[in-house]
Structure 1
Amino acid sequence: MARAMKVAIVDDEADMRQSISQWLALSGFETETYACAEDALKVIGADYPGVVVSDIRMPGIDGMAFLKRLMSLDGGLPVIMITGHGDVPMAVEAMRLGAYDFLEKPFNPDRMTELTKKATHNRRMTLDSRALRRELSDGTTLMKKLIGTSAEMERLREDILDLGQADGHVLIDGETGTGKTLVAHALHAVGPRATKKFVTISCAAWSEDQLAAKLFGTGDDDAIPLVEEARGGTLCLEDIESLSHSLQSRLLTMINEQGTPPETRIIAIVNEHAPDKTLEDILRPDLFYRLGALTIICPPLRARGEDILTLFTRLSEQFAEEYGCDAPQVAAQEAAQLLQAPWPGNVRQLVNIAERAVLQNRRGSGSIASLLMADNEAAGPTLTTEGKPLKDYVEAFERMLIDNTMRRHKGSIVAVMEELCLPRRTLNEKMAKYSLSRSDYT
């Protein structure tokens, strides 16, 4: 859900504060008013969830001094300055110091609304970007995103923790949509280079000349080559299979010049290669062996068993919250269909199915089965899954049902017992069997 943005209005004139606040409130903004900069500074700090509208001429800390203080706290905070007649040169100076924009009295209220909308949009983008950067540097948060209790996911998490502490370069392989980029971020975040730069580029997104310039520089401009920007940290090369032989040679030279342990760690991600070719056929052997000494294979979704139902439940709950509606309830037959689907697009495909299922449920039409069928028809011939014993499907559905009910009742054992008509001892035994803990829901 989009975060609510505030507008802090700072002006020593009560009538002006009230007028601006009322107008912006009518336009849908949440406003806060302050009679002086001193009071506002007690509340506004780094990552303030909104923007500031401030008069320039105020007693005590004036608008210019206030702006400087705000910029020192958070250089990305949008501050709209209100100027009186003849203060335009001062407003221009405020822009130079970092103000978002200025309005000259008397100003058009619609212009105020338009400017505030743009400023809050920019602020939301800035805060979301910061949150993402923090998330991608937090190993604990990233590991929690690798959801699943299957043996394949347990092994993947163990591999990340083990290889994250190593110094060598890493090759990440796996089908499209299996979360290879997330794994690369996690490898960096759980290792000793976590506080250093993580620089990533797709080798398939640029021509050979453009990629060479971005990676190694041209010497003709001031742009910092990515190999220099990542020095001491991690350089992540997505679509490594698209790297030309010429650039493979330059990359190998850079690796050889670093020595052991390498100053910059390289994580290479393989996204696609022809079925009749291995990565060894695509990369020059000496580069392959330097990059592939440590390898992680991201498991396909179809091999992860009941993780499919866990992921579908979590994703549909998230989308239901975003769209303001109920998540679809998964029937036993639909659970079996989710488990049996070939999932050629893996987790990325499951995300799309979950979102569309929520939208269907909001309209009161459609089924999960129809979504799966449409996806498979669009994908054409796909891999097929092996059949499983009925017991496996029953257990996966049972676990999903208990998990969903516990979430809905926030861990209330009594409520879950009543809804599922289970005696306490049976519920306890099944929760232990499926590694479900009440503390996860309270």
Structure 2
Amino acid sequence: MARAMKVAIVDDEADMRQSISQWLALSGFDTETYASAEEALKGLNADFPGVVVSDIKMPGMDGMTFLKKLMSMDSGLPVILITGHGDVPMAVEAMRVGAFDFLEKPFNPDRMTELAKRATQQRRLTLDNRALRRELSDGTVLMKKLIGSSPVMERLREDILDLGQADSHVLIDGETGTGKTLVAHALHAVGARAGRKFVTISCAAWSEDQLSAKLFGPNDDGSLPLVEEARGGTLCLEDIESLSHPLQSRLLTVINEQGTPPETRIIAICNEHAPDTTLENVLRSDLYYRLGAMTIVLPPLRMRGEDILTLFTRMSEQFAEEYGCEAPQVTAQEAAQLLQAPWPGNVRQLVNIAERAVLQNRRGSGSIASLLMADNEASGPALTTEGKPLKDYVEAFERMLIDNTMRRHKGSIVAVMEELCLPRRTLNEKMAKYGLSRADYV
């Protein structure tokens, strides 16, 4: 389950600090108290995982000055101010400065709890967005998200590292749910433009007039058109197949005006086109050849072999931690069913099934096979036995079993040997065969 967020309580009156702390602690919050604003500033930072509750009238630094210092440190930090009756105009001014809300004494403790809950929800969203932005600017983190040791995934990571260093525009194609947006971020993050802007827009999300204004201007709100905002960095155009021919022509003009190497790199993502057509048929030929000088086609999940089991294990472990329960143990039959599934929704579909499998396991009901059948019934049979010899299923399950056991025992070779009834030499040989290293689990 999600960890309780902190509430920092700042008040010069010890009784008030204690009563607020006790009430919020009973409501499930993790509280910490400070007798002064000066003391609190020493314990708070820009990524403080919680919210602040502070009195306005305090000796030394008052609540208003304290608020301004907090806002300069982190404008996204929710601050709830406690005020006496005569201080309401000051509290209203504090809201203008950036306070989350204020409570007038004497206040209802339930109102305090309600405000704290709303503030922590906002804080959690702010911190999650920050963490996501950091991940999307960190090439190492992004490359680790491209899980899998299949040959097609090894080749994909190599392509990203190679093309990331280049200046040419890139075209990304592949089935829905294969992770094309993640690859676009990775291409930017591992290249020379990593420290510059990465601007993205979906060409399918706007009408032609709206998209034209957003891309090329002018905008009614006075904001820069995206081709200008992304200047020097990367402009990522999702759903490029939805771009009308007039807008394709304008985009081509922008590209031609940039020269070589281009000032702004364009990464175009194709999310859907008819099975019997190619992007070359969908886009103007001159634009296609400018964008498609470098192309990455993401592999569908059904072509990634044992990566399916690796991904399912990782995703189910993450959801189990999130929901505070045990991850489901995959049997040999279920492993075969996961490997045989056609996965029309690719990785996105697998993530959804992993989450539902964890929730089923928490209730003690259901099976992975039933989830696969329900998920794929609209696309035809859920299982297919074509194209994979028995040896592949056996090896994939064996690798998953050793991997899961090593994780559970945090790399303890002795514990794994005992649980799997394997002599050390055999375990070492199998780990070497499947590319597993004890160092990854310790």
The normalised TM-score by structure 2 is 0.97
Give the equivalent residue in structure 2 for 1:409: 409
2:389 and 2:110 map into 1 onto residues whose CA distance is 65
SS, match of residue 86 in structure 2: coil
What is the CA distance between 1:417 and its match in structure 2?
0.5
1:41 and 1:260 map into 2 onto residues whose CA distance is 50
2:432 and 2:408 map into 1 onto residues whose CA distance is 19
Deviations 1:54-95 (A, max 9, x none): 111111112122112111111111111111231122222222
In the alignment, is the contact (CA less than 8 A) between 1:78 and 1:119 conserved in 2?
Answer: yes
1:117 and 1:354 map into 2 onto residues whose CA distance is 29
1:5 and 1:225 map into 2 onto residues whose CA distance is 39
Give the equivalent residue in structure 2 for 1:364: 364
Give the equivalent residue in structure 1 for 2:160: 160
Residues 195, 316 of structure 1: CA spacing in aligned structure 2 closer, same or farther, 3 A cutoff?
Answer: same
Identity %: 87
Residues 366, 92 of structure 1: CA spacing in aligned structure 2 closer, same or farther, 3 A cutoff?
Answer: closer
Give the equivalent residue in structure 2 for 1:253: 253
Q: Which amino acid aligns with 1:96?
A: R
Gaps of 5+ in 1: none
For residues 127-276 of structure 1, the aligned pairs below 5 Å read 127-218=127-218, 220-276=220-276
In the alignment, is the contact (CA less than 8 A) between 1:342 and 1:385 conserved in 2?
Answer: no
Give the equivalent residue in structure 1 for 2:293: 293
What is the CA distance between 1:317 and its match in structure 2?
1.0
Q: How many residues align?
A: 442
2:89 maps to 1:89: yes
In the alignment, is the contact (CA less than 8 A) between 1:4 and 1:49 conserved in 2?
Answer: no
1:353 and 1:374 map into 2 onto residues whose CA distance is 10
Deviations 1:199-225 (A, max 9, x none): 111111111111111111225441221
Give the equivalent residue in structure 2 for 1:311: 311
Gaps of 5+ in 2: none
Q: Over aligned residue pairs, what C-alpha RMSD do you find?
A: 1.5
1:384 and 1:173 map into 2 onto residues whose CA distance is 25
What is the CA distance between 1:349 and its match in structure 2?
1.0
In the alignment, is the contact (CA less than 8 A) between 2:4 and 2:28 conserved in 1?
Answer: no
Q: Which amino acid aligns with 2:360?
A: Q
The normalised TM-score by structure 1 is 0.97
What is the CA distance between 1:51 and its match in structure 2?
0.6
Residues 381, 371 of structure 1: CA spacing in aligned structure 2 closer, same or farther, 3 A cutoff?
Answer: closer
Q: Which amino acid aligns with 1:202?
A: S
Give the equivalent residue in structure 2 for 1:341: 341
Residues 190, 385 of structure 1: CA spacing in aligned structure 2 closer, same or farther, 3 A cutoff?
Answer: farther
What is the CA distance between 1:110 and its match in structure 2?
2.1
Deviations 1:299-353 (A, max 9, x none): 0111111111111111111111122221111111221121111111111111111
Residues 253, 381 of structure 1: CA spacing in aligned structure 2 closer, same or farther, 3 A cutoff?
Answer: farther
What is the CA distance between 1:382 and its match in structure 2?
8.5
SS, match of residue 85 in structure 2: coil
2:85 and 2:412 map into 1 onto residues whose CA distance is 64
What is the CA distance between 1:288 and its match in structure 2?
0.3
In the alignment, is the contact (CA less than 8 A) between 1:3 and 1:124 conserved in 2?
Answer: no
Residues 280, 30 of structure 1: CA spacing in aligned structure 2 closer, same or farther, 3 A cutoff?
Answer: same
Give the equivalent residue in structure 2 for 1:48: 48
